[in-house]
Copies of this chain bind each other. A is one copy, B any other.
Amino acid sequence: VSEFNLINHYFKQLTASKADVILGIGDDCAITRVPDARLLATSIDTLISGVHFPHGTSAEDIGYKALAVNLSDLAAMGAQPAWVSLALTMPDENAQWLQGFCRGFAQLAQQYNVQLIGGDTTRGDLSISVQIYGFVEPQKFLRRDRAQLGELIYVSGYLGDAGLGLACALNKLASTSALQSCIQQLNRPLPRVELGQSLIDISACAIDISDGLAADLQHILDASQCAALIELDALPLSAELKAHYAERVDWQQVLTSGDDYELCFTIDAAEENKLIAIAAQLKLKLTKIGVIKQGVGIEFMHLNGAEFTLTTAGYNHF
């Protein structure tokens, strides 16, 4: 099967046809239309076997996750998903693997009405680059450099589960049935697209947590030139994670393990009631974890006033 036919065979029918796609897969470029009065939001992310997912991850989970992490970037801007391009490098053409990959990818693509508009397949070690496209309204999107002094810091969902799942998947932890939900969180993160879009009226500042809360919140602080106080005991921890750690939570792990794909965002205290309504509407846990303050860096405090100091900030590829 030629590269051209491979794309046609596996990918052309993968996703729905949208009216704003003038020319999809099969030409030198895709031709698409951005709606009037909308801006384009785009992000590219690469997933490498053994780095972004453990060796042995199922093809379906890889396909799902490749799209999920990109949708998470759109979520962090409050953008509406639109289209996606896929550059897939793999060692050989394995029909079963490709079918699984496509199934996982298509599941999310259909859920978010995202059309696959471009692709490139090449031979090499397994590597997946996904380029996502979405729309935002001018002036109404979330960015890293908009945190204001005194704003409250919130996160969605739970922190640290994917990190525990990874330790399980790498056989560093005994795989208990309780930890299965952590492996699910690692392989099937839920991009917070609806949350991001709901936040644009009450927040200006968000990031998605891909490298751990400490590292990603620090990106907000660097861009916004401020500091944060985080109440450690307020951090949202799942029942599974609490059960795993019993009385001694590994805060280092919770704060620095990656792959949570939750949103961290800031709001003015006056908007808290609206946020509670959003949480109820989305049936999503949203937790106040701290406050933006003057200075540099993140201060992690326990309720009893004890300070916690991180030894490393987060995942680092180099």
Residues of A that sit less than 8 Å from B by CB: 1-4, 6, 22-23, 26-34, 36, 39-46, 48, 51-52, 72-74, 76-77, 79, 85-87, 89, 92-93, 117-125, 127, 129, 131-134, 136, 138, 141, 143-145, 206-208, 219, 223, 316-318
Chain B, residue nearest A30 (CB)? B42
Q: Could you list some 27 contacts between A and B, CB below 8 A?
A: A3-B316, A3-B317, A3-B318, A22-B39, A26-B223, A27-B143, A27-B223, A28-B208, A29-B74, A30-B41, A30-B43, A32-B39, A33-B39, A34-B34, A42-B118, A42-B131, A43-B118, A44-B85, A44-B119, A44-B120, A51-B123, A93-B318, A123-B317, A124-B127, A125-B127, A127-B127, A129-B129
- Let me know if A44 and B89 touch, CB within 8 A: no
- Let me know if A48 and B122 touch, CB within 8 A: yes
Task: Select which of B76, B129, B132, B223 is within 8 A of A87 by beta carbon.
Answer: B129
Minimum distance in angstroms from A189 CB to a CB of chain B = 15
Chain B, residue nearest A32 (CB)? B40
CA distance A132 to B85 in the complex (A): 11
- Let me know if B29 and A134 touch, CB within 8 A: yes
- Knowing A29-B42, A30-B42 touch, does A52 contact B85 (C-beta < 8 A)? no
Closest 7 CB pairs of A and B: A28-B76, A129-B129, A29-B41, A28-B73, A87-B129, A48-B124, A44-B85
- Let me know if B124 and A27 touch, CB within 8 A: no
- Knowing A41-B31, A318-B1 touch, does A85 contact B6 (C-beta < 8 A)? no
Which of chain B's residues have a CB closer than 8 A to the CB of A136?
31
Minimum distance in angstroms from A91 CB to a CB of chain B = 10
CA distance A219 to B23 in the complex (A): 15
Chain B, residue nearest A79 (CB)? B29
Which of chain B's residues have a CB closer than 8 A to the CB of A76?
28-29
Task: Select which of B36, B92, B120, B219 is within 8 A of A318 by beta carbon.
Answer: B92
Known: A3-B318, A44-B118. 10 other contacts (CB 8 A): A28-B72, A28-B73, A29-B41, A29-B77, A44-B85, A46-B122, A51-B122, A51-B124, A85-B131, A124-B127
Most buried by B among A1, A2, A27, A87: A27
Task: Select which of B6, B27, B48, B77 is within 8 A of A28 by beta carbon.
Answer: B77
CA distance A43 to B318 in the complex (A): 28
CA distance A85 to B130 in the complex (A): 11
- Knowing A73-B28, A219-B4 touch, does A87 contact B45 (C-beta < 8 A)? yes
